[in-house]
Amino acid sequence: MERTAKQHRFRTMAAIVAVCATLVGGAAAAYAADAGGIQRAVQVWIHGDQTAATIQFDGNGSYSMEYTDGEGNVRHQSGGGVVFAPDGTEIPASEEDLMAHLTAPDVRYEEDGSVWLHWFDQSLDITDRFEDGVCYVKLVNNGEPLYMTVKYENGYATSSHKYVSPWEFN
C-alpha cells in the first residue's frame, strides 16, 4: 500500500508540474504572439528630451509607440513603411530601419513662425539660418558629425560626410 501511495503522489506531482508548464508556456506564447508583434521598452529622444516609451513592431514594417510627455499626457505615435531591396522590390521596413527613422533629426515649424531642429539631446532654433529657403546645419552626437541640409517646409537630407545639395533631394 505504501508503494501505491508514493506512486499516486508522484503522479499528482507530475500532473501539477505539467499544468504549471502548460500555463507558463501558454502565457509566454500569448505575450510573444502579442498580435504578431514584438514589444519592448526603449529610451527615445522626443523634441530634445530623453523619454521612456513602449514600442511595438508588428513584423510587417509598422510600429506603434506609447510614451508620457513632459506634461504627463500619454501620447501615441505610429508609423511604418517599406524599403527597396537590391532588386528594386519593396519589402516591409525592418525594426532597424524603423528605429533609424525614430532617431532621425526632427524639424518642427512652430505656430509662432520659428523653426526648431531636434536631434538626440540637441534642440536648435534654426529660424534665422535660412538663406533663399535653405539652411545648412552641422550636428555632432558622440563625436560623430551629421551634416544637414534643410529646405524650408520642403524636407531635409543628411549625410555623415558633407552637406547634400538642395537640388539633390525632393
Asked if residue 50 and residue 84 are part of one domain, the reply reads: yes
Task: Give pLDDT, residue 13.
Answer: 46
CA distance 75 to 86: 36
Asked if 16 and 47 sit in the same domain, the reply is no
Q: Domain check: are 43 and 93 in the same one?
A: yes
Q: How confident is the model at residue 140 (pLDDT cuts 50, 70, 90)?
A: very high
- The pTM assigned to this predicted structure is 0.64
Q: Which grid cell is 4?
A: 501505491
Least confident of 29-33, 39-43, 68-72, 100-104: 29-33
Q: What is the largest CA-CA distance in the chain?
A: 97
| Residue 18 confidence (pLDDT) above 50 | no
| Closest C-alpha to 141, from 167, 117, 165, 110 | 117
Closest CA to 65 of 94, 99, 35: 99
Q: Check whether residue 82 and residue 112 sit in a common domain.
A: no
Domain identity same for 53 and 97: yes
Number of domains in the chain: 3
Both 17 and 59 in one domain: the answer is no
Domain housing 113:
105-170
pLDDT class of 37 with cuts at 50, 70, 90: low
The CB-side HSE value for 118 (13 A sphere, CA atoms) comes to: 14
Same domain flag for 117 and 99:
no
* Residue 97 and residue 62 in one domain: yes
Q: Are residue 41 and residue 54 in the same domain, yes or no?
A: yes
Residues 65 and 94 in one domain: yes
Return the percentage of the chain with pLDDT > 90, whole number: 62
